[in-house]
Structure 1
Amino acid sequence: MTRTIYELEDIPLTVPITLAARRTAEKFANEQPTPEKAAQVRLNTLCVWVVHEYLEFMGISTQLNKSDTWNRVIRICADIADLEIPGIGRLECRPVHRFEQICYIPPETWEERVGYVVVQINESSEDANLLGFVPSVATERLPLNQLQPLENLIEHLAQLRQSPRKTLVNLSQWLNGVFDAGWQTLESLWNQPELRPVYAFRNSDIVDRTQEKDSLTKRGKLIDLGIQIANQPVMLIVEIRPDTNSQMSVRLQVHPTGNNSYLIPGLQLTVLDESGSVFLESQARNADNYIQLQFKGEPGEQFSVKLGLNDASVTEHFVI
């Protein structure tokens, strides 16, 4: 039998909100351009922090500073509340107000998440209730009566640690106008002043959006490699178009963002085949304002793109 009303007493786990959490949330909120965005960021930050405290108490390590929530640029650009769990992935921590029966899940968080925890922040901001979790979502409206207990979350994370999940970005669907969450048009990214490189993509081959044909599709995504690049993400651009003999042409580019004119020397762009072996590789040199790789593949073929700098790396998985 499915319940139609969620009772808070069903999962009465309350976590205190520390002074450090409130100060951090207020600091992040003060960076925002509007009061509405500030309120959103404040609430998201508190949610992430209390879930972090809960998981640490349960013996599950987390990395706040590796989460997009802790990235100043991404906080401004997106409604995200993710928590990085090393060796597992990113857990989304979504806020809900008292008496609400539906939790809003932004579309940009539907992919690359290992689960969703719903958090009710009390108006006094002195404590929060962890209401439950779900392993995945496919809609903006999550009824609270669908939440699983937190015990299931711990089991879920343990299973993922033993068998990590790999999410594939389907590039062939891009040609039909179906795009994966997190991948934005270049225009939408470049129109954000905090992301626009100071050299403004002077290369006309890269920026001439007016000459793109229907048969060619490209999208961009911000990739954060952490403190090694001063929390300034790089932009990964993926472009796909049909080629001859049923093959697809794939072009990858990596650009700096914000005040960085050039990529950090040593930044590596690597294409891995389905077995994990290196297929192609490029490395940024001094004064490189972008690096790129290009190859062809068959529909259904899988590959991965790895961005790495020293000990930090991020890998995206694709299927043509």
Structure 2
Amino acid sequence: MNSMTNTLTFTVPLSFEAHSLAQKCRQGISNQAKAEQVYLNTLALYAVDNYLRCMGFKTDWEESDSRDNVAMIIMDVADLTVKNIGKLECRPVFADADILQIPPEVWEDRVGYVAVQLDSTLKSANILGFTRDAVAEFPLNKLQSLSDFLLYLSELEVVESRQEEKLSSIVKIGQWLEGLVDSGWENIDKLLQPQQLGLAFKQEMSVTRGQAIDLGMQLDKLSLALVVKITSEPHSEEVDILIQVHPMGEITLPEGVKLIISDESGETILEATSRDEDNWIQKEFSAELREKFKITITFGDSILTKDFEV
């Protein structure tokens, strides 16, 4: 942790716009102390918002509790939502202060606490530094620097981006019953030969889609079709799911193709392995709406995993 001694700060002029916004936020608050608190909190927020936008971060002040009239009155709140990162608490301090005070009502749902030093004339604000510690009082000389602050936000942004990518890769088969089929999943008659369709699906189906997958390197590549069938009874919170793996361009699978169904934590629930001359392998199970699971297909040293949500 870096000391704030001899480290750079960032100064934001508190313009007419800043004071107009602060005045607007405190309008209608009869309690003088609360009105002053809201006014100063708004100036601190304005300063941090300007600083972050200068640094290339996207903010959404309108989605913050600090723009909620009720929240401002009943709590000492000065949060700023930073897109793809989370909420920062922007706390005003004056030049003679040596402690950053953090009220208990903002100890949760915050990625950090920023100290904003307001000058006595309220014409400018200095962004001093930040802490991740949710405590009642934090020494200003122990704040982490602004360079650490920007690095921390960038790391959070990367983590959030990866989580969003993972969520976007989840195949939401529960929506298939509503006609919303994920991109890349086709009608199985485009993937399988007519004789394979007859062997695999003799009964009527609700929604069935397939996706071509390749396992192995170019010379030893094995082309397979992953087929998912989902069936649901009206008003039921459960669906029946059939998972099949078929060869593409062939009638039978090579020996040793493995299909693994696991829960969200990765624990194996079902497993099937192809034998010599198997036309396909399959597993069937039931799942509740919004339940998540994984499908893993392996052959030799090659492995492919897909995430699903009912």
Q: Tell me the TM-score normalised to structure 1 length.
A: 0.49
Alignment of 1:207-246 (within 5 A): none
Task: Provide the residue aligned with 2:149 in structure 1.
Answer: 153
Q: Out of 135, 140, 143, which is 2:139 matched to?
A: 143
- Contact 2:2/2:143 (CA < 8 Å) preserved in 1? no
In structure 1, what residue type is equivalent to 2:156? L
- Contact 2:44/2:118 (CA < 8 Å) preserved in 1? yes
The answer to whether 1:13 aligns with 2:27 is no
Tell me the distance in 2 between the aligned counterparts of 1:105 and 1:132.
Answer: 14
Task: Provide the residue aligned with 1:163 in structure 2.
Answer: 159
Q: Out of 19, 22, 27, which is 2:19 matched to?
A: 22
- Contact 1:92/1:109 (CA < 8 Å) preserved in 2? yes
Distance 1:2 1:159, change over 3 A: closer
Distance 1:39 1:155, change over 3 A: same
Task: Provide the residue aligned with 1:305 in structure 2.
Answer: none
Give the superposition deviation at 1:77. 1.1
In structure 2, what residue type is equivalent to 1:23? S
Equivalent pairs, count: 169
The answer to whether 1:117 aligns with 2:114 is yes
Give the superposition deviation at 1:274. 7.0
Tell me the distance in 2 between the aligned counterparts of 1:31 and 1:94.
Answer: 22
In structure 1, what residue type is equivalent to 2:93? V
Distance 1:96 1:278, change over 3 A: farther
Tell me the distance in 2 between the aligned counterparts of 1:278 and 1:97.
Answer: 55
Task: Provide the residue aligned with 1:211 in structure 2.
Answer: none
What secondary structure sits across from 1:10 in the alignment?
coil
The answer to whether 1:56 aligns with 2:53 is yes
In angstroms, what is the RMSD of aligned CA positions? 2.7
What secondary structure sits across from 2:23 in the alignment?
helix
Deviation string for 1:262-301 (max 9, x for gaps)? xxxxxxxxxxx977x9857xxxxxxxxxxxxxxxxxxxxx
In structure 1, what residue type is equivalent to 2:23? E
Alignment of 1:167-206 (within 5 A): none
- Contact 1:94/1:103 (CA < 8 Å) preserved in 2? yes
Distance 1:147 1:279, change over 3 A: farther
Task: Provide the residue aligned with 2:67 in structure 1.
Answer: 70
Tell me the distance in 1 between the aligned counterparts of 2:288 and 2:79.
Answer: 30
Task: Provide the residue aligned with 1:93 in structure 2.
Answer: 90
Structure 2 unpaired stretches of 5+: 162-262, 266-286, 291-310
Structure 1 unpaired stretches of 5+: 166-272, 281-320
Alignment of 1:297-316 (within 5 A): none
Tell me the distance in 1 between the aligned counterparts of 2:153 and 2:2.
Answer: 25
Task: Provide the residue aligned with 2:76 in structure 1.
Answer: 79
Tell me the distance in 1 between the aligned counterparts of 2:107 and 2:50.
Answer: 24
- Contact 2:10/2:51 (CA < 8 Å) preserved in 1? no
- Contact 1:114/1:136 (CA < 8 Å) preserved in 2? no
Tell me the distance in 2 between the aligned counterparts of 1:58 and 1:2.
Answer: 20
- Contact 1:11/1:130 (CA < 8 Å) preserved in 2? no
